C-alpha cells in the first residue's frame, strides 16, 4: 500500500492544556490550535521526535528567547527550528509560510548580533565591550571547515565574494570555490524565501550571481551540491534543507534569460536529482508525508539520478556517514513502495 499522503498533514506536538500565548494574528491562531502554553519549557525535556517542532514554536512564541538564553541552548534551538522549518516547507504543511518567515527572521537577526559582537551576544548594556568581529580571511577559513553546512554568519560574505570578484570563482582554489558557490546559492535561496530578513539590495542582483555560478560550473565541470553529497559531507537532517534550497534556486534560475533551456541550468537540475535521490534513500518517511504532486516530483528526480548512475559506470553515488551505501536499485525500489502504479508509469524507470 502506498505510503504517501494525499492531504497535507502535520505532526502532533505533545498535548498540553490550551492557554493564551504572547503572539498575534496567524501565529496566535496556530499556537492556540496546538495548545502550547510554553513551548520552551516543553522543549527542554522533549522526546527526540518533538524537539524540532517545539524549537520552532519556542522561537515563534518568544521573540526575545534567543537573546536571553545561553549560547549553547540558543544554537541548538536555532538549528532544530530551521531543520523543522525546512521539513515542513518541503512537506507542504499549510499555513506555515508566514510563520517560517517570522522564525527565520528572528534567527537571522540573532545571528547578525552574534556576528557583529564576536562569538556570542554581548551582555545587556555592554555592546562596546566585545571582541572585534572576525576578519574576512578568518571567515573564509571557517567557512571551508564548515562546508557544506554553511552557517548564516558566513552567507553574506560568500555572496559578496561571488558578486564582487572580477575573476569570479575561478580565483579561488578548491575546496574554497565549491564552498563559496554552495554558500552563495543557499544564501540566495533562504533570503528569497524570507525576503524581509535581508536588505533589498542583497536580493537585487540574485540573477547575476546565479548566472555566475552556472558559468563556473560549466567551465570547471563541477557541481558543488553534487560534490557535497558524493563526498559524504551532508548530514541526514540537512538533506531536506538542501533540496529545498536547490529547488528555490531552480525557480529563480528558470526566470533568467534562456529559461530552463539555458546550458547552465543543468547545474540546478543535476543538484536537485542528486538531493532527491539521497532523500528517498535516507528519509523515505518524508516522501510519504508530502502531498502526492510533490512526492511524484521528488520520486521522478530521484529516479533520473538513479538512471544516470546506472548509465555512467564511473559516476559516484551519494553517501551519508553512518548510513548503508545508497544504490540506484534501492532508491528505485523505495519509489515503487512510495508511489502508486498509475503515477509510476509516467516516471523514467517505472517498475
d(CA 272, CA 274): 5
Better-predicted residue by pLDDT, 225 or 126: 225
How many C-beta neighbours within 10 Å does residue 45 have? 10
Alpha carbon distance 181, 148 (integer Å):
10
pLDDT of 312 higher than 50: yes
Domain definitions of the chain by residue range:
25-116
What average pLDDT does the chain have? 77
pLDDT in tens, 180-207: 888 889 888 888 888 877 777 778 889 9
Q: Which grid cell is 326?
A: 545508497
* CB contact at 8 A, 340 and 2: yes
Please indicate whether residue 243 or residue 346 has the higher confidence score (pLDDT). 243
Q: Are 77 and 59 in contact (CB under 8 A)?
A: yes
Higher per-residue confidence, 254 vs 48: 254
Confidence band, pLDDT 50/70/90 cuts, at residue 67: confident
Q: How confident is the model at residue 350 (pLDDT cuts 50, 70, 90)?
A: very low
Residue-level pLDDT at 346: 57
Q: 6 pLDDT exceeds 60?
A: no
> What confidence tier does 126 reach under pLDDT thresholds 50, 70, 90?
very low
Listing DSSP states for 32-59 in one string gives: HHHT-S-HHHHHHT--HHHHHHHHHHHH
- pTM surpassing 0.85? no
> 94 pLDDT exceeds 80?
no
**Tens of pLDDT along 9-56?**
333 344 343 333 344 455 666 666 566 678 888 888 888 778 888 888
Show the cell assigned to 347. 516516471
Strand residue runs (E) in 181-336: none
Q: Quick: pLDDT tens for 260-284.
A: 999 999 999 999 999 999 999 998 8
Q: Are 182 and 147 in contact (CB under 8 A)?
A: yes
Amino acid at each position: 500500500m502506498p505510503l504517501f499522503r494525499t492531504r497535507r498533514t502535520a505532526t502532533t506536538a505533545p498535548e498540553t492544556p490550551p492557554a493564551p500565548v504572547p503572539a498575534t494574528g496567524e501565529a496566535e491562531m496556530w499556537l492556540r490550535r496546538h495548545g502550547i502554553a510554553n513551548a520552551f519549557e516543553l522543549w527542554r525535556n522533549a522526546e527526540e521526535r518533538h524537539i524540532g517542532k517545539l524549537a520552532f514554536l519556542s522561537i515563534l512564541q518568544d521573540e526575545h528567547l534567543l537573546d536571553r538564553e545561553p549560547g549553547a541552548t540558543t544554537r541548538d534551538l536555532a538549528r532544530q527550528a530551521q531543520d523543522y522549518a525546512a521539513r515542513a516547507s518541503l512537506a507542504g504543511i499549510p499555513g506555515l509560510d508566514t510563520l517560517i518567515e517570522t522564525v527565520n527572521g528572528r534567527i537571522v537577526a540573532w545571528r547578525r548580533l552574534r556576528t557583529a559582537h564576536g562569538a556570542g551576544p554581548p551582555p545587556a548594556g555592554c555592546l562596546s565591550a566585545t571582541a572585534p568581529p572576525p576578519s574576512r580571511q578568518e571567515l573564509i577559513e571557517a567557512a571551508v571547515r564548515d562546508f557544506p553546512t554553511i552557517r548564516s554568519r558566513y552567507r553574506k560574505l560568500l555572496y559578496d565574494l561571488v558578486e564582487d570578484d572580477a575573476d569570479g570563482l575561478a580565483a579561488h582554489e578548491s575546496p574554497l570555490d565549491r564552498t563559496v558557490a554552495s554558500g552563495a546559492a543557499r544564501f540566495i535561496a533562504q533570503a528569497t524565501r524570507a525576503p524581509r530578513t535581508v536588505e533589498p539590495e542583497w536580493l537585487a542582483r540574485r540573477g547575476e550571481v546565479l548566472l555566475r555560478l552556472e558559468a563556473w560550473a560549466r567551465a570547471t565541470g563541477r557541481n558543488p551540491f553534487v560534490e557535497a553529497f558524493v563526498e559524504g559531507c551532508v548530514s541526514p537532517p540537512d538533506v531536506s534543507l538542501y533540496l529545498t534550497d536547490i529547488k528555490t534556486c531552480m525557480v529563480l534560475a528558470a526566470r533568467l534569460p534562456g529559461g530552463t533551456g539555458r546550458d547552465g541550468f543543468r547545474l540546478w537540475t543535476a543538484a536537485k536529482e542528486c538531493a532527491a535521490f539521497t532523500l528517498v534513500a535516507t528519509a523515505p518517511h518524508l516522501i510519504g508525508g508530502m502531498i502526492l504532486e510533490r512526492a511524484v516530483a521528488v520520486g521522478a528526480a530521484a529516479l533520473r539520478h538513479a538512471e544516470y548512475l546506472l548509465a555512467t559506470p564511473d559516476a559516484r553515488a551519494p553517501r551519508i556517514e553512518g548510513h548503508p551505501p545508497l544504490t540506484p536499485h534501492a532508491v528505485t525500489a523505495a519509489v515503487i513502495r512510495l508511489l502508486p502504479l498509475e503515477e509510476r508509469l509516467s516516471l523514467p524507470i517505472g517498475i
